Amino acid sequence: MMKGRRSKRRRSPAASFTDDLIIEILSRLPARSVCRFRCVSKTWQNLISSHHRKLHQTLAGFFTMHDGERGGSVPHFTNVISGRGCPAWVSSSFDFLPNRGYLQDCCNGLVLLCNYWWHSENPDGGKCRGLRLGFDPTVSPHFFVFEFFKDDHDRYGVQGRAHRSIPVPDNKEGGFIQESQGRLHYANLEANDDDEVVRLVVYVLEDDDSQQWTLKHEAKLFLFFASGVLTLPGNLSGSRSILTVT
Amino acid sequence: MEVDKGKGEAEETRKVAEADRDTVTLKSSDGKLFEVSKEAAARLSTVLAGMIAGGSIDDNGTDLKQIGSEALENVVDYCNKHANSIPSAALISSSISFNTAPFKEPEEWERKFVDRLSHDALFDLVEAANFLGMERLLDVTCHKISEMMKGKSPDQIREVFNIKNDYTKEELEEIRQELAWAFYDD
C-alpha cells in the first residue's frame, strides 16, 4: 500500500496541481517562456489561453498621440490594468526599436508600426514603405493585416482577394475608419454652409450585410481644441470604445 | 446530568489549556506529528489562522490529510525560521489573493531554503503552501519553480512536471511553427 502510493507520487508529483497553481507559477515567467509552454500539452495550451490576462506582460489600454520633442507625434500608452501581472510599460514611443516609424494602428493586441525610406538600390530612387507588426503572444499569434483604400467613386474597401466596397455615410473626404467593439466605425468632421468645421460625427456599421451606417455620436467641435486629425485608438483589450482627437 | 456536566467541564478545561499553549500540533497524511509556533502559524497561514481562531485545532494533532510528512516538515521548518522574521500580511488578508500585491524578492535565507529541495520536494511544498494559504511561502516556491522553468524546452517541462504530450505530431508541428519566435533564448 505504502509502496504503491510512493511510486504513484514519484510518477507525477506535479500532476495534482490545480489550474490556479499552474497559472500562479506561469505568471512569474516572461511572455516568451509562457508562449513556448503552449506546446507542452493541450491542457496547458487551453489554460494559458483562458488565463492570458493574469499572465505576465499582458497589457490593456489605449494609445493617444502627443507632440514629440523633435517634431512629429509620439504615441503614449495608457494602461488600464494595474497589479503585479502588469509591469510598467517599457516605452510606449517604441524608442527601443531601430527605425521604428510611427504608430499606424492597433487593435486586439496587435500594434502596427509603419515607416518610409528611400530605396537607394533602385536607380530611379523610390519611396518604400515598411510595416512592423507587434502582437500580444498571450492572446493569439493569428492576424491579418489589411489597409483601407479609396476608389475612384469615393468608396472605401479593403485590398486583398476577398473584399467588398461599402460607401461611406457622408461621401466626403478625410474620414477615418477603424474597428471598435467588433464593429466598423467611421468618423469625420462636418462643415457648415460657410465651410467652417463645426461637428464631429461617428457612424457605426451595425449590420455588415445591409451596408447601412448608423449615426452613433455627434459632438460640436468647440468641445475639442485640437487640429482635427482623428484617431480612433484600437484598444488592446478590445472591449471599450474610446475616441480621441489629437 | 452530573456526568454531562462533568464532560462539559472537561471540555472547557481542555479548550482553556489549548488556548494557553503557544504551539499547535499538525498531523501529516502519513500520521507524523509536528509542532509549530502558534503565532507563526497564524501569521503565515490563512488556513491555520482560521482554524486557530475557530477552535478547530486538535491537541493530539490537527489532521492535514492533503500534506505528506516531508512537505509538512518543510512547512514547519519554514514557519520556525520565519517566526522572528518580517511580519506577514497573512493575518490581514482573509484568503490568497492572486496577482494583487507586488512580489518581493526572496530573502537570502528563503532562497537557500528552497534551493536545497529536490524537484519533487519543491512541488510538494508549493502544493502545501497553496493548500494552507501561505502567501509568502507560495510566492517563494513559485518564484523558484519559475526560475527553474526559464529557458527550458517543452520536452524538458513535460519531463519535470510529468505531463503527457497529448498533441499529435501534426498538431505539435503546426503550433511550433506559429510560435517559432518563442523558441529563441529567453
pLDDT in tens, B138-169: 999 999 999 999 889 999 999 999 898 999 99
Mean pLDDT of B2-21: 52
Q: Would you say A101 and A93 are in contact if contact means Cβ atoms under 8 Å apart?
A: no
Return the residue of B nearest to A54 by Cα. B99
Q: How high is the pLDDT of residue A137?
A: 60
Question: What letter would DSSP give residue B142?
Answer: H
CA distance A69 to A193: 38
CA atoms within a 13 Å half-sphere pointing along the CA-CB vector of B58: 10
List of chain A residues whose C-beta atoms are within 8 Å of the C-beta of residue B128: none
Q: How high is the pLDDT of residue B112?
A: 92
CB-CB under 8 Å, B102 with A11 = no
pLDDT of residue B93 exceeding 50, the answer is no
Q: How high is the pLDDT of residue A42?
A: 93
Per-residue pLDDT band for B117 (boundaries 50, 70, 90) equals very high
Mean pLDDT of chain B: 81
CB-CB under 8 Å, A17 with B145 = no
CA distance A101 to A99: 6
Per-residue pLDDT band for A198 (boundaries 50, 70, 90) equals confident
Hey, of B74, B98, B103, which one would you mutate to test binding to chain A, going by the most A CBs within 10 A of its CB? B98
Cell of A184: 466598423
Q: Would you say A64 and A75 are in contact if contact means Cβ atoms under 8 Å apart?
A: yes
Per-residue pLDDT band for A241 (boundaries 50, 70, 90) equals very low
CA distance A21 to A23: 5
β-strand pairing of B62-63 with B23-27: parallel
Residue of A27, A37, A44 lying closest to B99 (CB–CB):
A27
Type and span of the H or E element at A244: strand A244-245
Which of A4-8, A124-128, B12-16 has the least mean pLDDT? Answer: A4-8
- CB-based contact, A53 to chain B, within 8 Å: no
Per-residue pLDDT band for A245 (boundaries 50, 70, 90) equals very low
B184, B185, B149: which is closest to A40 by C-alpha?
B149
Number of inter-chain CB pairs under 8 A, A vs B: 114
| B73 CB burial (10 A radius; 0-12, 13-18, 19+) | middle
For the segment A122-162, what is each residue's pLDDT rounded down to a tens digit? 555 566 667 777 776 656 666 777 666 655 555 555 545 55
CATH for B9-150, options being 3.30.450.20, 3.30.420.40, 3.90.1300.10, 3.30.710.10: 3.30.710.10
pLDDT of residue B118 exceeding 70, the answer is yes
List of chain B residues whose C-beta atoms are within 8 Å of the C-beta of residue A42: 166-167
CB-CB under 8 Å, A37 with B149 = yes
pLDDT of residue A57 exceeding 50, the answer is yes
Return the residue of B nearest to A88 by Cα. B102
- CB-based contact, A37 to chain B, within 8 Å: yes
ipTM passes above 0.90: no
pLDDT top residue among B160 and B179? B160
Contacts (Cβ under 8 Å, ≥6 apart) of A1:
none
B129-132's contacts with Cβ under 8 Å and 24+ in sequence apart are: B129/B75, B130/A18, B130/A20, B130/A21, B130/A24, B130/B96, B131/B47, B131/B64, B131/B66, B131/B67, B132/B45, B132/B46, B132/B47, B132/B48, B132/B64, B132/B67, B132/B75
Q: How far is CA A55 from CA A154, A229, B3, B153, in A?
A: 45, 36, 60, 19
Cell of B81: 525560521
pTM of the model: 0.57
Mean pLDDT of B8-16: 51
Question: Dihedral (C-alpha) B148, B149, B153, B159: value to the nearest 10 degrees?
Answer: 80
CA distance A203 to A112: 24
Residue of B145, B149, B162 lying closest to A12 (CB–CB):
B162
Q: How high is the pLDDT of residue B128?
A: 95
CA distance B92 to B73: 25
Per-residue pLDDT band for B90 (boundaries 50, 70, 90) equals very low
CB-CB under 8 Å, A29 with B179 = no
